[in-house]
């Protein structure tokens, strides 16, 4: 990518596992220079997480490799005087500091916001935590599943018989990291206007509630408490997962014209004027009966064929893929979503590492990291030169 928008932005990354590293990975993709500060000998816990024991033993677990390409790694013990002094020098010249410790931890080891701001009035300090820096739960420990439960997310996931169910990936961590990255870029834009640094207090709980959108707003605005509906869409019918000849098929006929087109294409045109299905609200009230009739009609053809026919006619429809099938899809390949990088030299592997982009093209190009994920302390020897370079600005 010839012109990355955050080129020249200097980020100190004190983050661990997912929410924080995901945030700083997004910043690195956009061109920021991200220096990961890690505990000597231990580093980010994600270095030891993932399905491949060999990678975990090498402190380059799959969970770490996924979120840390393009970053530098420096080992500093922030509880020791020498480590604190080096970190202080880095703070003086950084643009952004991101951490996802439990609330108050960085302050307790000598770096509260007031001191950080005093060292560098233009610093943007982003603290990501489960519940935010204030409130009765601010010091409580939190992982993704804890936030999924407390946000109400699990209560609306699954069917009435199976809920509560955990979402199948760490969505609260990811949403927290995205919210943090958005806040950091907004703060950088604001600083261009007024020169001020800012303290960003990111709550994964609040970010998750915000991301739940209609599930929350339907309750706070209209007093309607959402319920688990499995693979069905509460706002429309027919909208959900249906059964084709060879497997499941998602259809979202949310508009009247889409419903009518669907009925014609599956050979059930009489449903368009049927008293129980003619209107949006009546279709929702008789959802089960309508779904049964459509499933019978859809069983005549394979899911891939229905996907092609319905999509071409303007009815949103698609098969349900596995992760492996989604990753191998032509759509993401055409947009260069995955970047190919060499594995860290310590692994002595000849194959390549695939890492994900951001999902946003800039002037037609997918942001991608320019270097692979770092070994623990890989850039220790470069710290004096880095400090000298940073201090010139």
Over residues 226-248, the mean pLDDT reads 95
Is 343 within a domain? yes
Is 221 within a domain? no
Over residues 155-177, the mean pLDDT reads 96
Domain count, the chain: 2
Over residues 87-98, the mean pLDDT reads 98
150 and 278 together in one domain:
no
173 and 254 together in one domain:
no
Residue 303, domain extent: 239-321
355 and 293 together in one domain:
no
Over residues 204-222, the mean pLDDT reads 95
170 and 101 together in one domain:
yes
Residue 346 — very low, low, confident or very high, per pLDDT cuts 50/70/90? confident
80 and 191 together in one domain:
yes
297 and 373 together in one domain:
no
Is 2 within a domain? no
Residue 5 corresponds to which tokens in the numbers above?
């928008």
Check residue 392 and give its pLDDT: 85
Check residue 348 and give its pLDDT: 85
194 and 46 together in one domain:
yes
317 and 339 together in one domain:
no
Asked whether the predicted pLDDT for residue 221 surpasses 60, the reply is: yes
Asked whether the predicted pLDDT for residue 287 surpasses 90, the reply is: yes
Asked whether the predicted pLDDT for residue 384 surpasses 60, the reply is: yes
Average pLDDT, rounded, for the chain: 95
Is 307 within a domain? yes
**CATH number for the domain harbouring residue 156:** 3.40.50.10540
CA-to-CA distance for 148 and 172, rounded, in angstroms?
6
Check residue 25 and give its pLDDT: 98
CA-to-CA distance for 149 and 288, rounded, in angstroms?
29
Check residue 92 and give its pLDDT: 97
Asked whether the predicted pLDDT for residue 345 surpasses 90, the reply is: no
CA-to-CA distance for 21 and 372, rounded, in angstroms?
14
CA-to-CA distance for 374 and 37, rounded, in angstroms?
12
Does residue 173 have an active-site annotation? yes
109 and 157 together in one domain:
yes
**CATH number for the domain harbouring residue 294:** 3.30.1540.10
Q: Strands, DSSP E only, in the chain?
A: 10-14, 33-38, 71-75, 96-99, 124-129, 198-203, 239-243, 248-252, 317-319, 338-342, 352-356
Closest among 65, 44, 21 to 178, alpha carbons compared: 21
Over residues 333-339, the mean pLDDT reads 94
Interacting residues of 7 by C-beta distance below 8 A, sequence separation 6+: 31, 32
81 and 121 together in one domain:
yes
Check residue 298 and give its pLDDT: 98
Domain boundary at 262, 296, 321, which?
Answer: 321
Asked whether the predicted pLDDT for residue 191 surpasses 90, the reply is: yes
The pTM assigned to this predicted structure is: 0.94
Catalytic-role residue among 13, 95, 173, 363: 173
Is 145 within a domain? yes
Asked whether the predicted pLDDT for residue 254 surpasses 90, the reply is: yes
Is 327 within a domain? no
Over residues 211-228, the mean pLDDT reads 94
CA distances from 126 to 43, 53, 181, 371 (A): 20, 33, 9, 24
Over residues 76-98, the mean pLDDT reads 97
Check residue 334 and give its pLDDT: 94
Check residue 312 and give its pLDDT: 97
102 and 245 together in one domain:
no
Domain boundary at 321, 351, 372, which?
Answer: 321
Asked whether the predicted pLDDT for residue 2 surpasses 90, the reply is: no
Is 185 within a domain? yes
57 and 164 together in one domain:
yes
Check residue 3 and give its pLDDT: 75
Asked whether the predicted pLDDT for residue 80 surpasses 70, the reply is: yes
Asked whether the predicted pLDDT for residue 1 surpasses 60, the reply is: no
**pLDDT > 90: percent of the chain:** 95
| C-alpha atoms less than 13 angstroms from C-alpha of 190 in its C-beta half-sphere | 14
Over residues 297-306, the mean pLDDT reads 97
Check residue 313 and give its pLDDT: 97
Over residues 16-41, the mean pLDDT reads 97
Domain boundary at 321, 345, 377, which?
Answer: 321
Is 154 within a domain? yes
């Amino acid at each position: 990518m010839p012109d990355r928008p955050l080129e020249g932005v200097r980020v100190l990354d004190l983050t661990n596992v997912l929410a924080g590293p995901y945030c700083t990975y997004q910043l690195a993709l956009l061109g920021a220079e991200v220096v990961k500060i890690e505990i000597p000998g231990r580093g980010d816990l994600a270095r030891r997480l993932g399905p491949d024991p060999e990678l975990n033993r090498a402190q380059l677990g799959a969970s770490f490799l996924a979120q840390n390409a393009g970053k530098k790694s420096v080992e500093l013990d922030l509880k020791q005087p020498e480590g604190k002094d080096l970190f202080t020098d880095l703070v003086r010249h950084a643009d952004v500091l991101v951490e996802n410790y439990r609330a108050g931890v960085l302050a307790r080891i000598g770096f509260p916001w007031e001191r950080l701001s005093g060292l560098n009035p233009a610093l943007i300090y982003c603290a990501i935590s489960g519940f935010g820096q204030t409130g009765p739960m601010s010091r409580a420990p939190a992982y993704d599943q804890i936030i999924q439960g407390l946000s109400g997310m699990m209560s609306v996931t699954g069917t009435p018989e199976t809920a509560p169910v955990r979402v199948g990936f760490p969505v609260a961590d990811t949403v927290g990291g995205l919210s943090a990255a958005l806040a950091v870029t907004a703060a950088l834009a604001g600083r261009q206007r007024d020169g001020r640094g800012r303290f960003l207090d990111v709550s994964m709980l609040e970010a998750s509630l915000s991301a739940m959108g209609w599930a929350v707003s339907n309750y706070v605005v209209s007093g309607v408490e959402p319920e688990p509906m499995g693979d069905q869409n509460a706002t429309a019918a027919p909208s959900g997962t249906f059964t084709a000849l060879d497997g499941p098929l998602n259809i979202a006929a949310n508009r009247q014209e889409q419903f009518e087109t669907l009925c014609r294409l599956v050979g059930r045109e009489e449903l368009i004027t049927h008293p129980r299905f003619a209107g949006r609200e009546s279709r929702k009230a008789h959802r089960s009966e309508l779904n049964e009739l459509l499933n019978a009609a859809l069983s005549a053809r394979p899911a891939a064929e229905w996907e092609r026919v319905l999509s071409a006619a303007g009815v949103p429809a698609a098969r349900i893929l596995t992760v492996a099938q989604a990753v191998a899809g032509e759509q993401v390949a055409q947009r260069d979503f995955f970047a190919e990088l060499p594995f860290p030299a310590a692994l002595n592997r000849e194959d390549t590492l695939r890492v994900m982009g951001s999902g946003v093209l800039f002037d037609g190009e997918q942001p991608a990291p320019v270097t692979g994920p770092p070994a623990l302390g890989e850039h220790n020897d470069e710290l004096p030169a880095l400090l000298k370079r940073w201090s010139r600005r």
